[in-house]
Structure 1
Amino acid sequence: MSSFDPIRLEVLRNALEASAQEMGVVLKCTAFSPNIKERMDASCAIFNADAELVAQAEHVPVHLGSMLKAVGPTLAELPPLKEGDVVIVNDPFIAGAHLPDITLISPVFADGVLVAHVASRAHHSDVGGMEPGSMPGNSIEIYQEGLIIPPVLLYESGVEQSGILRMVLANVRTPEERRGDLNAQLAALRMGETRIKELAARFGVDGLKEGLSAILAYSERRMLKRLAELPPGRYEAEDWLDDDGSSPERVLIKVAVEVSPDGLVFDFEGTAPQRRGNVNAVKPMTHSAVFYAIKILTDATLPPNAGVLRPVEIRIPHGSFLDARAPAAVCAGNTETTQRVADTVLRAFAQIAPERIAAASQGTMNLIGIGGRDPRNARPYTYIETIGGGQGGRPYGNGMHGVHANMSNTLNTPVEALEISYPLRIERYELREGSGGDGYHVGGEGLIRAITAIDHEARVSLQSDRRLTGPYGLHGGASGATGQNSVRDRQGNIKALAGKGSVTLAPGETVIVETPGGGGWGMRSLPEEQSQKRVALKTA
């Protein structure tokens, strides 16, 4: 039994979450690349001495959910860490993300005792590989996607391991930007370490460790309480990716959710096997999508930590593309497959709690990467961005326009920042009118973003989906419009592009990304029973 009373426990829990948030502020404010300092494509979290997630900032769900299952395996690859050590890793088959997501982990000691770990994960705009931006649309093995960094020490006892850093920087197109972003991640770790040591001084070393355990137990109790309120049973759903980037064949995701007062079981039996293309997801990526969906079903105020998942079992069949094995290509597993896993699980959840679950949002990150040599200084550049779309219509209101939903919580790159940083010009950036699905609550509108290469040849990589089947509606609502990609040449001719692939832009040519709208929720004339539930939820 914990000695922490509820008020004292809440003080500690909120202090930890504020510390994680402060880590993110430091990272954003000190980063070099627009992808982090403008878009905040990065996340920070705090783990206990046993590498269990205890607190996270409100950053990127696919980062945070995958780190939950990745820090422990990463630390298991190394001898016990000492004070001043910093681990660097991006190996997807250990760290649970695609290669551009570099993770730094540091232990926190107080009075010589290991009390916690702090971690930062950031999407670096280039880590080498076959295409600028390290997010090729058509990779078929991990080696084409960039430099693989196994768990190694970037700092040992506070001393930089310069050989490791030189090796990393020698394999990327934009080394000084990478150095700056890594230093920003280090600064975030230092902030987290400082705040946790302050908490150890306030609560005592033993008190802090006890409090971290009590937080996880509290979340587990809250989770079980919510599960007891759900209708028990087995609920099934399925959905597809358009293709895997290598073959035109659709890729099936199936899930069966078993609900009981004792827990949730997610069984992905029947899901497609590992693919030749790059939509394969390592297991922590899949877990991150399930974790995100659970938060929507249960309680927005439920502390997002490892305690929530104690009553949860996730079964992924061996050989499935949701449990990818080396040397599979995985870069779109992060951007596209996690989105579709979330869509599929939420579709099952809509049978459990229809008054809580929205129609499908755009279901893709619409990732675009552009790179080449900047004609202003002849140096390589790499621009990377994910583009928002329509949110699904909600039980209590219309979907929002032009936002990131589900697994991405990033911002856009402002036009001014993009055009200052890169030899690119934004020709159009607007809502895609009429793309939201019709319904009692309509889906949000997608976006149109058109980018021109100025006075140079550029390579463009695209990772996108929902180009063949629009985001589904719920309870009679219509599907949202599918997205589309194209290139416009200097004569104004338009050529359609696949959802996933890489192409060359000639000087003056424009790549155009039109993102999907969200699905609609409910029929235009909503049945009385659904209408009453909707009003009850909105006024609760």
Structure 2
Amino acid sequence: MNVHAALRPKADAKTRIDPVTAAVIHGALENIAIEMGHKLMRMSYSSIIRESEDFGAALTDAEGRQLCECKMSTPLQSGPIPGYIRGILKIMAARGETVRPGDVIMHNDPYGGASHGPDVGFCVPVFLDGALIGFSVTTAHHLDIGALSPGSCGIVDAVDTYAEGLQFKAIKVVSEGRRNEAVWHMLRDNIRASDLVVGDMEAQVKAAEIGAGRYLALVQQYGLATVNAAYEDLMDYSERLMRDAIRALPDGDYTATTHFDGYLDDPDPARRELPITATIRVRGDSLVVDLTGTAPQVPDKPINMPLEGTVDCAVWLTIRSILLDSVTYGNIPQNSGLTRPIEIIAPKGTLTNPIFPAPVIARFCPGNALADTVMKALAQAVPTQVSAGIGNLRVIAFSGLNEGKHWVHMEILEGSYGGRHGLDGMDAVDTLYANTRNNPIEDIESHLPIRVDRYELRDNTAAPGQWRGGIGTVREFTCLADGGFSVEGDGHRFRPWGFDGGTDGHTASLTLVDKSGAQTPLVSKVPYHKVKAGDHLVSFGPCGGGYGDPLKRDPQAVLFDVLEGYICAEQAKTDYGVVISGKSLDAAATTAERARRA
């Protein structure tokens, strides 16, 4: 049994610095991280960073405790950064190596803090008078990392971590200010679309160097002791907020189990329809998230989740979002203090704590399913602070050759949220620990041999509830040149859960249509598949679950859904007991229909 606990002791209730100075330093730290993010976006080559914002930027202290993070980054990029630093320091200590001024360290070890191999971190140490005082770090998802087939997402058939692509374990790409050209040559020689990918990596280095310079200037302005005192107080403040929120929960054990697809076309039952179980034990001002009961790891398929870098981030982000909703609490300092009151238990050898070299590159959708499971468990304690089940995401990696050169594109097919107390579920958005933006159609079609034929909400699929579930998208792509694609997804078998009388949501589907019009239904995980120019890929995204009794939904809200085309008039009557006549609400008939059902 492996217990992943809070890394730091309890906070000292006394403050170390006056609150005004602490607030100024906190604002300065946040602005440094935000500047790092903007610079990285502006310098990047690929749309996954430039448009989708699938990157992270943060500052840590010398031990790896996070001081701040860029607000535009995704939780799955910034969240693991402390683990990157801890992994780097551990590996370098084992080698007898030392972090020195002028170093830039590359790292993507999924068993050493990184989320998965394509999320490569570049870390710049910050020194003051010869002493290490912190790190400036950028992470980003790279479109190819030298795996067995083109792309980085969509690698769903790797048998171990070695088949997932290049592994960088605390590699100095710049050593004491001197660029290690051999490493950069290796990158260019082993990565498809190397101009794109290496260009993104160089942008990461520059953004991290900018952050390091800004942090050093801040320390020189206020003094190291003052800055240290400020962020210690900020971490204590974040911890107190989290402990107060946990203390408000009823003590008890709250358990939930959900399932995700796995490999639906695999004859081995150990690879499909896999359970995730979470038990949340609330005691006073701390809680334990116990993942005992989750399926065993799949030793030769990459849907396992690194405990540090994926599982911990999914748990922390979900709990923080539910208990410390920014609508209520406003801006909360994002730092390591938030995680101190939370302990995670994950049995070794399970999906949520795999044993090396079990592959993990396709951990994205299982991790989001884990976050959904944690939310379902917490729903028993705070039913008005959660959403119903989410429609999970899917990722398609398109690729091909253009005059002998590789092109690669990663398209994130958004999901949807379930209904929430007082609010309908959000339509066509990334969910839970994924918050990337969509790629504009103009960007896709101006750079790639892909045409986007449809991009719209699904018809008649909003899950009924007092607050309806969010609606997924219809996406249709036409390949304009020979190439291939692979898919890493979920949500084809299990409907997102409805809550408190709400109806379950709708599953997703994926269909390949060739030039002759022949249709081939696909499962949610598709290894590299060749296509010809003129082939179509049609995706129907999942729809979130409904929240609350549909017969309690405001009839005017039902009328709005009908007029907007989300549901038809027949569904309004069948699902909600609301009678629509033409484009108007028949109030008398609605009252009679609902009374009859009651």
Matched with 2:588 is none
RMSD of aligned alpha carbons: 1.7
2:89 is equivalent to residue 75 of structure 1: yes
Q: Deviation per CA, 1:228-274: give whole Å up to 9, x if none.
A: 21111111011111124754521111111011223110111111111
Q: Deviation per CA, 1:134-179: give whole Å up to 9, x if none.
A: 3323222222221111211011112111111111221111111122
The answer (yes or no) to whether the contact 2:242–2:320 under 8 Å persists in 1 is no
2:506 is equivalent to residue 481 of structure 1: yes
Q: Aligned pair count?
A: 523
Alignment counterpart, residue 519 of structure 1, candidates 545, 557, 580: 545
The answer (yes or no) to whether the contact 2:303–2:360 under 8 Å persists in 1 is yes
Aligned-partner Cα distance in 2 for 1:501–1:144: 16
42-51 or 135-144, which moves further after superposition?
Answer: 135-144
2:408 is equivalent to residue 349 of structure 1: no
Structure 2 residue identity aligned to 1:145: E
Alpha-carbon distance, 1:293 to partner: 0.8
Matched with 2:469 is 443
Alignment of 1:71-110 (within 5 A): 71-78=85-92, 79-110=97-128
2:75 is equivalent to residue 56 of structure 1: no
Alpha-carbon distance, 1:26 to partner: 0.5
Counterpart secondary structure, 1:344:
helix
The answer (yes or no) to whether the contact 1:244–1:251 under 8 Å persists in 2 is no
Alignment counterpart, residue 401 of structure 2, candidates 373, 398, 409: 373
Distance 1:440 1:378, change over 3 A: same
Matched with 1:33 is 46
Length-normalised TM-score, structure 1: 0.93
The answer (yes or no) to whether the contact 2:244–2:285 under 8 Å persists in 1 is no
Alignment counterpart, residue 317 of structure 1, candidates 340, 344, 347: 347
Structure 2 residue identity aligned to 1:197: L
2:244 is equivalent to residue 225 of structure 1: yes
Alpha-carbon distance, 1:527 to partner: 11
Matched with 1:412 is 438
Q: For structure 1, list consecutive stretches of 5 or more residues without a partner in the other structure.
A: 529-540
Aligned-partner Cα distance in 2 for 1:508–1:109: 56
The answer (yes or no) to whether the contact 2:87–2:113 under 8 Å persists in 1 is yes
Aligned-partner Cα distance in 2 for 1:251–1:389: 20
Alignment of 1:92-491 (within 5 A): 92-135=110-153, 136-244=155-263, 247=268, 249-275=272-298, 276-284=300-308, 285-299=310-324, 300=326, 301-333=331-363, 335-363=364-392, 365-374=393-402, 377-456=403-482, 458-491=483-516
Distance 1:229 1:455, change over 3 A: closer
Structure 2 residue identity aligned to 1:124: H
305-314 or 5-14, which moves further after superposition?
Answer: 5-14
Counterpart secondary structure, 2:145:
coil
Alignment counterpart, residue 524 of structure 2, candidates 499, 505, 518: 499
The answer (yes or no) to whether the contact 2:466–2:546 under 8 Å persists in 1 is yes
Aligned-partner Cα distance in 2 for 1:526–1:10: 45
The answer (yes or no) to whether the contact 1:90–1:101 under 8 Å persists in 2 is yes
Length-normalised TM-score, structure 2: 0.85
The structure 1 segments of at least 4 consecutive aligned residues displaced by more than 6 Å after TM superposition are: none
The answer (yes or no) to whether the contact 2:83–2:112 under 8 Å persists in 1 is no
2:24 is equivalent to residue 11 of structure 1: yes
Aligned-partner Cα distance in 2 for 1:319–1:389: 29
The answer (yes or no) to whether the contact 1:131–1:459 under 8 Å persists in 2 is no
Matched with 2:57 is 44
The answer (yes or no) to whether the contact 1:435–1:516 under 8 Å persists in 2 is no
Aligned-partner Cα distance in 2 for 1:469–1:68: 34
Distance 1:254 1:399, change over 3 A: same
Matched with 1:535 is none
Structure 2 residue identity aligned to 1:354: P
Aligned-partner Cα distance in 2 for 1:324–1:166: 32
* Structure with the greater alpha carbon radius of gyration: 2
Q: Deviation per CA, 1:170-190: give whole Å up to 9, x if none.
A: 111111112210111012102
Alpha-carbon distance, 1:446 to partner: 0.5
The answer (yes or no) to whether the contact 1:19–1:192 under 8 Å persists in 2 is yes
